[in-house]
């Protein structure tokens, strides 16, 4: 998946920094939800409601600015090329929207609408909103989705080659299944993203 977002001149060190940034965003996203008070406040109780005994989880963070920023940021949060899952069929979703003082009511509605279209029709969607003047024109969308009946939809990505005289010896890239991040009862006293290094 790094090949999808890296440029031709990207070094291997820079590529792995991209992967590390996904982990950093996950940790920061959970931390911010719990510690930063919001206009529509979310806290650890909301995180626990969504994640307790619900199996695998999808978490994404999207950022955008300018026209259509709410839609763009939400799509980035649920369709990141570095994430293997989507939120399709999720029965529990935590949606947090952070923006400056110009954050619009309709922008919150746009973000919520995109989540509703992708999640289960009966999904429990908890929405939070935070005003952060330092963001300026930027908007940040954080999404945590759980409660999949089966394994969350894995976005297919194959770049395989056929062994011919022209390509024999080339590397084939195939999909890897996301590790199981089952949440176990009382372990939620410390959020999973703070206990596990998913990239080891």
Please answer whether residues 98 and 147 qualify as being in contact, where contact means their C-beta atoms are separated by less than 8 angstroms: no
Q: What are the E-state strand segments in 101-183?
A: 124-131, 138-146
Q: pLDDT tens across 75-113, in order?
A: 988 876 656 667 888 888 989 999 999 999 999 999 999
Instruction: Give the gyration radius of the chain's Cα atoms.
Output: 18
The whole-angstrom separation of Cα 133 and Cα 139 is 11
The whole-angstrom separation of Cα 86 and Cα 43 is 24
The overall pTM is greater than 0.75: no
Please answer whether residues 126 and 95 qualify as being in contact, where contact means their C-beta atoms are separated by less than 8 angstroms: yes
CATH number of 2-155+171-181: 3.30.1330.20
Q: pLDDT tens across 146-166, in order?
A: 887 655 555 554 444 444 444
Q: What local confidence, expressed as pLDDT, does residue 3 receive?
A: 59
Q: What local confidence, expressed as pLDDT, does residue 170 receive?
A: 43
The whole-angstrom separation of Cα 39 and Cα 61 is 19
Confidence at 171, pLDDT banded by 50, 70, 90: very low
Q: What local confidence, expressed as pLDDT, does residue 139 receive?
A: 94
Phi then psi for residue 27, to 5 deg, are -65, -45
Residue-averaged pLDDT of the chain: 72
How do the domains of the chain map onto residue ranges?
2-155+171-181
Q: What is the mean pLDDT of residues 16-35?
A: 70
Q: pLDDT tens across 46-58, in order?
A: 877 877 766 777 7
Say whether pLDDT at 32 is over 60.
yes
């Amino acid at each position: 998946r790094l090949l999808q977002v890296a440029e031709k001149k990207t070094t291997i060190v820079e590529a792995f920094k991209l992967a590390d940034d996904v982990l950093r965003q996950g940790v920061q996203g959970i931390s911010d939800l719990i510690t930063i008070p919001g206009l529509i406040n979310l806290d650890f109780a909301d995180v626990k409601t969504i994640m307790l005994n619900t199996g695998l989880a999808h978490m994404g963070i999207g950022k955008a600015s300018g026209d259509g920023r709410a839609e763009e940021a939400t799509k980035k949060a649920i369709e990141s090329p570095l994430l293997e899952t989507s939120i399709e069929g999720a029965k529990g979703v935590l949606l947090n929207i952070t923006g400056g003082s110009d954050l619009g009511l309709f922008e919150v509605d746009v973000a919520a609408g995109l989540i509703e279209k992708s999640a289960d029709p009966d999904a429990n969607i908890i929405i939070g909103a935070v005003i952060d003047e330092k963001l300026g024109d930027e908007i940040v969308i954080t999404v945590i989705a759980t409660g999949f009946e089966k394994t969350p939809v894995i976005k297919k990505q194959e770049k395989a080659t056929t062994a011919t005289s022209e390509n024999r010896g080339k590397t084939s890239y195939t999909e890897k299944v996301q590790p199981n991040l089952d949440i176990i009862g009382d372990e939620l006293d410390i959020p999973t993203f703070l206990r596990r290094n998913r990239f080891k």
